Chain A
Amino acid sequence: MANIAQASREETASPLQHGLREAFYAGIIAFGLFFLFIGLKTDQNISNELVLVPRWGLLTIVVGLVMLGRFLYVAYAQPFMARQKIVDVASGLLPDSVATRFFRLPYFIGALVVAAVLLLFAGSLDGIFGSGLAGYLRFFRALAIIYALASVLFYFRAFIHNHFSALGVGVLIAYPIVVVLILALLTGSMAGGFQGSLKWVDNFGIQILIYVMLAWGLNIVVGLAGLLDLGYVAFYAVGAYAYALLATQLGWSFWILLPVAGIMAAFWGVILGFPVLRLRGDYLAIVTLAFGEIIRLVLINWREVTNGAAGISGIPKVSFFGLMSFNVSDPNYIAKVLGIAQSGAYYKIFLYYLILGLALLTAFVTIRLRRMPVGRAWEALREDEIACRSLGINTTTTKLTAFATGAMFGGFAGSFFAARQGFVSPESFVFLESAIILAIVVLGGMGSLVGIAVAAAVMIGGTEILREMEFLKHVFGPDFTPELYRMLLFGMAMVIVMLWKPRGFVGSREPTAFLHERKAVSSSFTKEGHG
């Protein structure tokens, strides 16, 4: 009854009235949620007692924003989207309609002009407009450039779609070179280019690629075999500590220890695999979570070996296959051998290609394995364990190989991580990391390598970009630190993306076994396993 009454009221009420009512409710709820947490702040006074500092102004602003947002959404955005859908269906524009309206030639030319003009006067912006306004203009310029690039991408969308993997690999290989060249042009010297590229190659490139590799590794366990693993970071930790300990104690080279770390992680994967073979679904999830925590707690408490929470430092760098080293003091330092200027950027660029190679190896192995009997067995296991068993597939070995293979790639990534940081501590292997990796796998569309890579770039790159948002300081004042909001926004983005695309970015799968022709199927037709 209640539903019917509500429906009729919604029909009779104009969108405006409806929006006002919804905004009112949203305001009440937001006030209830926020008045203790935003309206009051607990602070310590001089004698170390907690006191409350009221922030009613901030509370009013936040509640007002929630109400405004809800009002605009209900009164304007919802009717607009509904109308647009009808228009699009009538005009047959449906799949690309929003994008075609958004990317138009006049806009593109406008964006180009704006970007070009602002780039020309880049040096004198501060002088003309003052630093505050210039910050906005720089942000505006970045938006214009992004829009122009997006338009170009959109124009070639069919081509890009057809050659996505090859193009993606090409872009990834060219990325450090392009960054160095652009920055060298901007600063006017090659050394400046290398110096400036550190941030882009290290913080963005390597950081994202590590997560891509981890997510591809976890994808074997979750996406292919359908075993929900909440403790994947344990294998990452095993790999990192294997390299850190063996390299600092025995002095072995990275190239020997990389496979050793992978084998050790795979070994731990099998050890974890045995007890959990009988478990299903969420029982499996909690045991893997517990396993991840056990590994971390052992790393913290086994001080004689792991040096506890202080971690292991002074982990040797990777050498260029033993031919050249990246330590300035060594006789075969790369700059001395090649006769070029010293720079820390060579090592970062080398690491970038190393992790790119490792990630591509993961992808290659995954793609090949999917066509082998064991890969097909994984996917069969994900779809239906009972059918699997009745067809004579040995589920024990199938699950164990999935755990071991996934763990091995986690171990590779871990030893890379240790070599890159030069320092490992249990801090890096908390549950949050497992959650982020799992989120990337699910957000990307389980089982889809391309989708996972896109998800990693969006989620990790997006939060890294927040560190660069200097102009926000002009908006919110100098003591505003965008980094503080990184994880808050990350969590909210996880929720929003999942609500927007519950099946992940790439919601279709290509079957590995097909009868006559390849045809991508919506992944809503395939279910994920229950362990």
Chain B
Amino acid sequence: MQYFVQQLVNGLTLGSIYGLIAIGYTMVYGIIGMINFAHGDIFMLGAFTALIVFLILGAMFYSVPVVIALLIMMVVAMLLTSLYNWTIEKVAYRPLRGSFRLAPLITAIGMSIALSNFVQVTQGPRNKPIPPMVSQVYDIGGISISLKQIIIVVVTALLLALFWYLVNKTSLGRAQRACEQDRKMAALLGIDVDRTISITFIMGAALAAVAGTLFLMYYGVVAFSDGFVPGVKAFTAAVLGGIGSLPGAVIGGLMIGFIESMWSAYFSIDYKDVAAFSILAIVLIFLPSGILGRPEVEKV
């Protein structure tokens, strides 16, 4: 039982990170119907930015309290990563809006290749390890929970609450939901659609940057190619939860996290990704539009 709960905690940690990334996928998909393949690399850029900021802080000050360091890393990563995603949207996706469906998908794949190789070229292909930032581990009834895990879950929960408020209670969120339902009608009602889409990209990137910072803190290492696997898993999570649905993304992320940690604990660690992908396929056979996705109604 203790072992099971331990795995549950591990899964929750992983799932939080996946969920944060998955929101970016699902929001972009919801609003412009496009798979933003570069989102995994945006996450990696966030982690890398956090790494560089961490090194700057280490070089400039003798010692910085961990909380403040983490906050600074997170904020800078959010800002810069948002700038990246904003620029990418403007350069690579906006001119193709209204073009045929695969065109922005291809530019997104191109951007993903370009971004990861940009980091490889500028920062080198090696893994970049940092010394552990947080190392306390608490023992609660035989279950060891590290402070890192607590931070990840708490930060994720706080952000999700903030995000929920933004989407559901503010005029910005209303504009976003309006664009999601009918872009033309939203424009007619005086919503600046371009701006709303830009903001969607910025919000997605900011959440991915936080996920990147948490990833860096949790694993203590990042490399230029680290965007792909979490990116694909988060995308899987978004689809599993029903793409376009925000709670679905979080639920899907948590599910993928649980499946992974349970599978590696009880079966084999080698096949954990196979398990995650197979469960995705099985779920989609029975629920073709994901867990919380609305079934597509086709009008003829």
Contacts and interface: CB of A to CB of B under 8 A. Distances in A.
B102 A291 contact: no
Nearest to B117: A488
B145 interface: no
Contacts of A524: 100
Contacts, number: 178
Interface stretch (A32-40, A73-81, A401-409): A32-40
Nearest to A501: B103
Contacts of A40: 52, 55-56
Given A494-B106, A498-B103, A528-B101, A488 B114 contact: yes
B284 A283 contact: yes
Contact of A494 (B55, B99, B109): B109
Interface string B265-287: 00000110110011011101100
A51 interface: yes
A301 B87 CA distance: 40
A451 B124 CA distance: 36
B219 interface: no
B225 to A, nearest CB: 10
A270 B217 CA distance: 44
Nearest to B279: A290
B277 A431 contact: no
Contacts of A491: 110-115, 117
A290 B281 contact: yes
B111 A495 contact: yes
A530 B129 CA distance: 43
Contact of B232 (A293, A485, A498, A530): A293
Contact of B55 (A37, A52, A280, A503): A52
Contact of B114 (A32, A37, A290, A495): A495
A44 B124 CA distance: 10
B128 A435 contact: no
Nearest to A49: B131
A287 B96 contact: no
A346 interface: no
Nearest to B109: A435
B51 to A, nearest CB: 7
A87 interface: no
Contacts of A290: 236, 277-278, 280-281
Contacts of A98: none
Nearest to B298: A386
Nearest to B86: A29
A276 B277 CA distance: 13
Nearest to B37: A435
B188 interface: no
Contacts of B55: 40, 42, 50-52
Interface in A267-319: 275-276, 278-280, 282-283, 285-287, 289-291, 293-294, 297-298, 300-301
Nearest to A500: B95
A495 B111 CA distance: 7
Given A275-B281, A528-B100, A42 B124 contact: yes
Contacts of B35: 282, 285
A439 interface: yes
A485 B117 CA distance: 8
Contact of B100 (A289, A484, A503): A503
A300 B112 CA distance: 24
Given A29-B83, A494-B110, A442 B278 contact: no
Contacts of A484: 120-121
Interface string B150-181: 00000000000000000000000000000000
Nearest to B271: A301
B118 interface: yes
A492 B52 contact: no
B10 interface: no
A499 B284 contact: no
Interface string A28-72: 010011001110111110000111100000000000000000000
B109 A278 contact: no
A335 to B, nearest CB: 42
26 contacts: A29-B83, A32-B83, A36-B53, A37-B119, A37-B123, A41-B124, A42-B51, A42-B55, A42-B128, A43-B124, A275-B281, A282-B239, A283-B243, A283-B284, A283-B288, A286-B235, A287-B281, A289-B232, A293-B232, A297-B271, A297-B273, A432-B113, A488-B114, A491-B113, A491-B114, A498-B107
Given A493-B110, A502-B99, 4 more contacts: A40-B56, A283-B239, A442-B106, A495-B111
